[in-house]
Structure 1
Amino acid sequence: GAVTTNLGAGMELQVIAATVIGGANLAGGVGTAFGALVGSALIEVIRNSLGLLGINAFWQGAFVGAFIIIAVSFEHIRNFRQSE
């Protein structure tokens, strides 16, 4: 058999987006496997929809990055409200 050593190369943005949108905290929190699965499904639905609309792959990555920023912002707001 043979193994491809660079199978996941270039997929870092999708992995981080899936875990953050799935509920993991970037500041050292915990997440669940189910949350990461839901996050990855949501990212793929978004990327597939953007592809069907004919949007360039560069802008698809920009949309995924924007969703990461939105998810981190919601997490920050939630943590701020819990600390009060």
Structure 2
Amino acid sequence: MKNDDNLRQQVEQRVRRLVRAERERPTVLGQSVYLGTLGLLLVLPVIGGAYLGRWLDGMASGYSIRWTISMIFLGLVIGGFNAYLLIREP
């Protein structure tokens, strides 16, 4: 009798776990939104850095791309960190 109850509880627990896993399975739309968000978090700081660097280069006398390259690199670092934080989040 005790073995039957123990077996029944184990089976019920596994069934609940399977039902929960099926319900929480990511959909194609959910994965697409996740990847889109990941892309935006990576690309937007790079684009913002390029525009900011271009503006700073325009403020300096003579044409130089020193600020543009620096700000693109900074945007890449910030975007990579943002992507890392999104992926690491449970």
TM-score when scaled to structure 1?
0.41
- Structure with higher Rg: it is 2
Give the number of the structure whose residues are more often helix, by fraction. Answer: 2
